[in-house]
Chain A
Amino acid sequence: MMPAPRPLMRLAAWLCALALPGLATAQDAPRSGYSYMEPETQALQDDDFLNPGFFLVDQGLALWQQPMGPEGQSCAGCHGAVETAMRGVAARYPAFDPAADRLMNLELRIQAEMAGRMQATPFDYSAPEMLALTAVISLQSRGLEMRPEINDETLPYLDMGREIYETRRGQLNLACLHCHDDHAGERLRGDVISQGQINAFPIYRLLWSEAGSRHRMFEWCMQSVRAEPFARGSDEFVALELYLAQRGAGLAMEAPGVRR
């Protein structure tokens, strides 16, 4: 029998490891950050009229329809209604883009759409408009299982993301796993540490008094251990995002989330 090509074998190994959590890591079954929140914070997320993240959704809906670039194209012009066109998209991102030959998350995909087809100046990675568009798109996956596609193209990113997740960094010399795998549910100063799942992003964070992206959260965590964060939108952070999406695969998407 022909030996399986290496990438395929590694893929198989990954899938096995994921199917047998007891063997793979000491990690518990995925649990949304929602379940670690105070009831009052949960109530804010549960009510679409109280949830401050819905300001973003409204803005995002307007942007979805807004003509941009020299030909006045809009997202809606090509895709139609966001509710149908974007259903399930956020749940399977980040995804590999063959044309760009790289892994893309929602923000990078939106920038590519604007710079390419629409010939418009793309929104900055951290612009409020970008956050608003990712919010309205992510909302269309609410309730669906987060599940990125793991294949030959995405596998190297998955490995890279896992290495970042497990590497000690910063003056406090801590890796993501020290807090989010080893001490989830325990109190770190005023916070209860969650598993660091990304199924609720973008989140409205009470501590920030505003909403933020997945990469802003990664940056915050890295800064809190006095590490030099990777840039938002960098290959490193997109790879980390893929790893976290895979690590939490099966969790229900819940954007826009509300967190302490």
Chain B
Amino acid sequence: MTEGSVPVARRHGHIRWPGAAIGLFLSGAAAAGAQSLPPLTEVAGDPARGEALLRDMGRASCLICHEISQLDEKDMGEIGPLLDGVAERYDAGELRARVADARTLNPDTMMPPYYSLDGLAGVARAYRGQTIYSAQEVEDVVAFLLTLTDEAAQ
């Protein structure tokens, strides 16, 4: 059939990260289902930029599948868990691991890998070889997620 297609039965490969440098400091952590990831860049994430990115429908928005009650958005998705208070449940490293590649936690996840090219097949030309987010964009979104405390949800 199509070249490079990955049948579901074989869809959980191990994690390969774009960029040799990033691969270097991830080796070890990524190998056995990383639950936590160290920062991807040296520049701290910016929560305001993260919020804007997360709400941008043209950028494979998290809100396609998740709801965050405090955001003034209509038609948020209900595929994934409610993200209210998510900062109480996970620290920065754990959130980063989920955004970068949720398959490290659940190989069958429906959540797209925002910062991994591992195992992708049949990608449209315009997006080939690119991750959904850049490393800095992952940092920004994680910084925003860290503001989602129980208090913020009130």
- With both chains docked as a complex, state the minimum distance between the C-beta of B112 and any C-beta of chain A, in angstroms: 4
B27 close to chain A: CB less than 8 A = no
Rounded to whole angstroms, the CA-CA distance of A175 and B8 in the bound complex is 8
Rounded to whole angstroms, the CA-CA distance of A187 and B60 in the bound complex is 15
Interface size class of B (residues with CB under 8 A): 20 to 34
A190 close to chain B: CB less than 8 A = yes
The residue from A173, A187, A222 contacting B119, defined by CB atoms under 8 A apart: A173
Rounded to whole angstroms, the CA-CA distance of A151 and B57 in the bound complex is 44
- With both chains docked as a complex, state the minimum distance between the C-beta of B129 and any C-beta of chain A, in angstroms: 10
Given A183-B79, A186-B78, A188-B65, are A163 and B1 neighbors across the interface (CB < 8 Å)? yes
The residue from B8, B74, B79 contacting A167, defined by CB atoms under 8 A apart: B8
The reply to whether B64 and A168 form a contact with Cβ atoms under 8 Å apart is no
Rounded to whole angstroms, the CA-CA distance of A177 and B77 in the bound complex is 17
Which secondary structure dominates where chain B touches chain A?
A: loop
8 nearest CB pairs, A to B:
A190-B75, A169-B122, A172-B112, A171-B127, A187-B78, A189-B64, A228-B124, A227-B122
Contact surface of B with A, Cβ cutoff 8 Å: 1-2, 5-8, 11, 57, 60-61, 63-65, 74-79, 110, 112-113, 119-127, 130, 132
With A189-B64, A227-B124, A228-B123 given, can you name 14 additional A-B contacts, CB distance below 8 Å? A164-B1, A168-B119, A168-B121, A173-B112, A174-B110, A178-B110, A187-B76, A187-B78, A189-B57, A190-B74, A226-B124, A228-B122, A228-B124, A230-B2
Q: Supply 15 A–B pairs (Cβ within 8 Å), ascending by A.
A: A166-B8, A167-B8, A168-B121, A169-B122, A171-B112, A173-B119, A177-B8, A188-B79, A222-B122, A226-B60, A226-B126, A227-B124, A228-B123, A228-B124, A236-B1
